[in-house]
A and B are shown apart, each in its own frame.
Chain A
Amino acid sequence: MSDDVPAPWALLAEVTHACPLHCPYCSNPLDLVPRRAELAAEEWARVFREAADLGVVQAHVSGGEPLLRRDLAKIVAEAHRSGVYTQLVTSGLGLTAPRLEALLAAGLNSVQLSLQDARRPGSDLIAGRPSYTAKERAARVIRAAGVPFGLNVVLHRHNLDHLEEIIEVGARWGADRIELANAQFYGWALRNRAALLPTRAQLDRAKATVAARGAGGPELVWVMPDYYEGVPKPCMGGWGARSITVGPDGTALPCPAAYAIPDLAFPSVREKPLAWIWAASPAFNAYRGTGWMAEPCRGCPRREIDFGGCRCQAHALTGDAARTDPACSLSPDHHLVRDPASAADRAAPCPTDFVYRHPAAPSHARP
C-alpha cells in the first residue's frame, strides 16, 4: 500500500440486499443486488482477511437483513478469525435465541437492532409490514445474551416528535446505546423526501430533548441532519479515509450510497485485491483528500473538517459528485436543499404515501 494513504478502520459488509422490511429511507441502492449474485462465505473470508491485513479493526455485518443468509454464522466466524471486532446490524426479524447463540459462538461481539418508531403502528407503517413485535422479541433475546446492544433509529418527519418515547423504549428494552440517525436524503430517502423531510421546529425540539437527557440510561448518539444546518456533514470521515463498503456481489465502495455515482467504476473484490482497491483504484482516489476540490471548497478553512460534505449528495442533487455539497450554505447550489426545506416547513399535514423499498419486481408484488 502506498505510504500516503492512511489505513482504513472499518468494513461495512453488506452480505445481502434481501430484507423483510421495506423502509422508504433504505440505505441500500435503488438497484438491489439479486441473491444469486451474492458472495459466498468463502469469498467473505478472503475479504475479511484482506481487510484486516489493511488495518480494518471493525466489521459491520449488515444488509439488507443479514439473518436471511443461512450461512451467516460461517461469515461471522470468518470475520472473527480475521481478528476484527464484529457487529451484526439487523432488523431483528429472525433473531431467535438459538440463532444468536450460534452467532456468539462464532465470535460475534455486538448487535445493533433497528427500530422505526416508538410504537407499533408508526414502526410498522415505516417498515412496510408488521415487525414491531418481532423487534421487541429480538431485543429480549439480545438482552438475555448479555451482548453489547445498540439500537438504531432513523429519524424523520413522522417520528421526530416521538423522540422522548423512542429513548424510553430503548432504555426499557435494555439498549446500551441509541443511535439517532437523522435521515440522509439520497437513494430511497431522496425519492421519499417530501414525505420524510422534517421541519426546523421538529429538529430543534429533538435536539433539545437529546441535550436535556442527563447521565444514566443508554448513551445517545446524534447523527446530524444536514438540510437546516448550513454546514455539510463530514461524510464517512472523508472519501476513502476510514471505511470500506463491500456490497453483496463484492462491489467495493467508499460509502454505501456511492452506488448511485455512475461515472466511477467501482472495483469488485472478486477481481482485485482489497489493498489495490483501497490504495490505488481510481474510484477510491477520486475524492480522496482535498486535491479534487474546486471553489468554494478549495480555499475553505473547513475543507479538512467536512471534506466538502457528501459526494453522493452532491451527485444526487447537482448531477456532479465533484461539486460542493449543496447542504453547505456557501454552495452555489444551496437552494437545492433550502427550497425543499422551506417547503417542508410550510407543508402540513405531511403525506405518508411512501415509495417503499422493493427489489425491481412486478408492481402487483408491492403492498
Chain B
Amino acid sequence: MPDDADWRPVLNRSIVLRYDHIRDADLLLMPERAVRLSGQGGHVLRLCDGRRTVADIIAELAEAFPDAPLADEVPAFLDRIRAEGWLR
C-alpha cells in the first residue's frame, strides 16, 4: 500500500462508476454486485483518476464545497473504498 501522501487513487479495473438516472444515484458496478453511493461519494470518486493525489482531490472539492470538513472526510471515505478492494 502506498504512502498516503503519494497515493493517487484510481478505481480498480473491475469497477465501473456510473450515474443511474432511474434511481438518481451514483453506482459502483462490479461482477454480481451494484453498490449505491450516498452523498458526494460519486463526485469524489470521479476525481480518482490515478493522476491526482488525495491532496489534489481535496483542493478541487474545496472549490465546490468550501464549508465541508473535507480534510477529514475525504481520506476516511477513500480508505473505506480502498479497504473494500474497489480503489487502489
Chain A residues in the interface with B (C-beta under 8 A) = 7, 9, 53-55, 57-58, 83, 85, 87, 109-110, 112, 146-148, 150, 176-177, 179, 221
* B27 to A: closest C-beta gap in Å: 6
A–B complex contacts, Cβ < 8 Å, 23 sampled: A7-B22, A7-B23, A53-B22, A54-B22, A55-B20, A55-B23, A57-B18, A57-B27, A58-B29, A58-B34, A83-B18, A85-B30, A87-B31, A109-B16, A109-B31, A110-B14, A148-B30, A150-B31, A176-B14, A177-B31, A177-B32, A179-B32, A221-B32
Instruction: Assess A55 versus B22: contact at CB under 8 Å? Given A85-B30, A110-B31, A148-B31.
Output: yes
How far in angstroms is the closest Cβ of chain B from A344? Answer: 30
Given the interface pairs A7-B22, A109-B14, A148-B14, the reply to whether A57 lies near B34 with Cβ below 8 Å is: yes
- Bin chain B's interface residue count: 10 to 19
Known contacts A55-B20, A176-B31; can you find 11 more A-B pairs with CB under 8 A?
A: A54-B22, A55-B23, A57-B29, A58-B29, A85-B29, A85-B30, A109-B29, A110-B14, A146-B13, A148-B13, A221-B32
A9 touches B34 (CB 8 A): yes
Judging by beta carbons under 8 Å apart, are A57 and B14 in contact?
no
Q: How far is the CB of A296 from chain B (nearest CB, A)?
A: 32
Which single residue of chain A is at the shortest CB-CB distance from B31? Answer: A110
* Residues of A close to B27: CB separation below 8 A: 57
Please give, as numbers and ranges, the residues of chain A lying within 8 Å of B31 by CB-CB distance.
Answer: 85, 87, 109-110, 112, 148, 150, 176-177
Give A147 to B27 CA distance when docked, in angstroms: 20
Inter-chain CA distance A221–B30, complex, in Å, is 15
Question: 5 closest Cβ contacts across the A-B interface?
Answer: A148-B14, A55-B22, A85-B29, A110-B31, A7-B22
* Minimum C-beta distance from A80 to chain B (A): 10
Contact between B16 and A85, CB atoms less than 8 A apart: yes
Measured between beta carbons, the chain B residues less than 8 angstroms from A83 are 18
Q: In whole angstroms, what is the CA distance A54 to B27 when docked?
A: 15
Chain B nearest CB, measured from A317 CB (Å): 28
CB-based nearest A residue for B34: A57
Whole-angstrom CA separation of A146 from B13 in the bound complex: 9
Q: Which residues of B contact A150 (CB under 8 A)?
A: 31-32
Smallest Cβ distance from A243 to chain B, in angstroms?
Answer: 12
Q: Mark B28-63, 1 if CB is under 8 A from A, else 0.
A: 011110100000000000000000000000000000
In the complex formed, the residue of B with least CB distance to A54 is B22
Task: Give the shortest distance, in Å, between A215 (CB) and chain B (any CB).
Answer: 11
Which of B14, B23, B31, B34 has most chain A Cβ within 10 Å?
B31
Smallest Cβ-Cβ distance to A53: which chain B residue: B22
User: What chain A residues lie within 8 Å of B13 (beta carbons)?
Assistant: 146, 148
For residue B19, give the distance in angstroms from its CB to the closest CB of chain A: 10
Contacts of A9 in B (CB 8 A): 34
A residues less than 8 Å from B34 (CB atoms) = 9, 57-58, 85
- Determine the distance from Cα of A83 to Cα of B13 in the docked complex, in whole angstroms: 16
* Distance between Cα atoms of A97 and B20 in the complex (Å): 33
Smallest Cβ-Cβ distance to A85: which chain B residue: B29
Contacts of B16 in A (CB 8 A): 85, 109
Q: How far is the CA of A110 from the CA of B22 in the complex (A)?
A: 24
Least distance between A107 CB and chain B CB atoms (Å): 10
The distance in angstroms between the C-alpha atoms of A7 and B23, with both chains bound, is 8
Residues of B within 8 A of A53 (CB): 22
Q: Could you tell me the distance in whole angstroms from the C-beta of A326 to the nearest C-beta in chain B?
A: 28
When distances are taken between beta carbons in the complex, the residues of chain B under 8 Å from A221 are 32
Cα(A54)–Cα(B20), bound, Å: 11
Complex CA distance for A110 and B30, rounded to whole angstroms: 8
Shortest beta-carbon distance, B20 to chain A, in Å? 6
Instruction: Give the Cβ gap from B87 to chain A, nearest Cβ, in Å.
Output: 15
In the complex, the answer to whether B30 meets A57 with C-beta atoms within 8 Å is no
Q: What is the CB-to-nearest-CB distance from A6 to chain B, in angstroms, rounded to a whole number? A: 10
The residues of B that contact A58 with a CB separation of less than 8 Å are 29, 32, 34
- Nearest chain B CB to A237 CB, angstrom units: 12
Contacts of A179 in B (CB 8 A): 32
